[in-house]
């Protein structure tokens, strides 16, 4: 199996940027892990660039150590986050429970187990967001399955139609098939995720 010519061309053009971004994820300081997870709580059904602006504002205001009105930040038109009231509650809950979450992140568990437990422990994230968060702090080999990834897998003839990932069992099945596809086209799973993302969105955010 080969990548469609458009994707292969995009990869060859951006391969160095993709590899560089993955190296940057590995260098994220542990002191920033909290804010990286804040970013991933904000991303569902909102733009990644808006979530990144929110993340930067939370860092600037030292949200972890200060009581601030997170809802006002999330509802701001310049970085609007959908379901801002609910997500503000989840961010405050994350801060309250951070010690427990941090212990899991720094544990000796394998990446898959760590991801699966995070998705159950942190209110507001599922398997996709937990995978996204761990990838953003340098963990490898996790499938970040969103509609963009699934749509491109259809374009690559891996599926005839967008597969169902509505349950953990179905998510894990598609994740394994995504890994097999990455092996077949001889591109690292983490690289091919950023390849697909940048192909759809035009840039490499995180």
Residues designated catalytic: 128, 146
Torsion of CA 144, 150, 153, 159, to 10 degrees: 130
Label residue 55 exposed, middle or buried (CB < 10 Å: 0-12, 13-18, 19+): buried
Token digits of residue 26: 């590995």
* Burial class, 151, CB count within 10 angstroms (exposed 0-12 / middle 13-18 / buried 19+): middle
Q: How many residues does the chain have?
A: 206
Identify the residue whose tokens are 């179905």.
Answer: 170
Phi, psi of 150 (to 5 degrees): -65, -40
DSSP conformation class of 123: T
Q: How far apart are the first and last CA of the chain?
A: 27
Nearest to 98 by CA among 38, 168, 170, 148: 38
């Amino acid at each position: 199996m080969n990548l469609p010519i458009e994707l292969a061309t995009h990869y060859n053009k951006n391969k160095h940027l993709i590899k560089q971004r993955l190296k940057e994820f590995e260098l994220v300081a542990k002191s920033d892990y909290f804010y990286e997870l804040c970013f991933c709580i904000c991303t569902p059904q909102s733009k990644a660039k808006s979530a990144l602006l929110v993340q930067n504002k939370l860092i600037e205001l030292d949200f972890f150590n200060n009581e601030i009105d997170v809802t006002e930040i999330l509802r701001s038109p310049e970085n609007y986050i959908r379901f801002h009231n609910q997500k503000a509650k989840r961010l405050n809950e994350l801060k309250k429970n951070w010690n427990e979450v941090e212990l899991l992140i720094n544990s000796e568990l394998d990446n898959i187990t760590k991801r699966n437990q995070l998705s159950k422990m942190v209110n507001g994230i599922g398997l996709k967001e937990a995978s996204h968060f761990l990838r953003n702090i340098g963990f490898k080999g996790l499938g970040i399955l969103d509609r963009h990834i699934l749509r491109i897998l259809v374009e690559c003839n891996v599926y005839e139609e967008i597969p169902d990932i509505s349950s953990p069992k179905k998510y894990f099945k598609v994740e394994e098939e995504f890994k097999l596809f990455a092996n077949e086209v001889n591109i690292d799973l983490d690289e091919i995720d950023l390849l697909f993302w940048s192909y759809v969105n035009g840039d490499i955010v995180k």
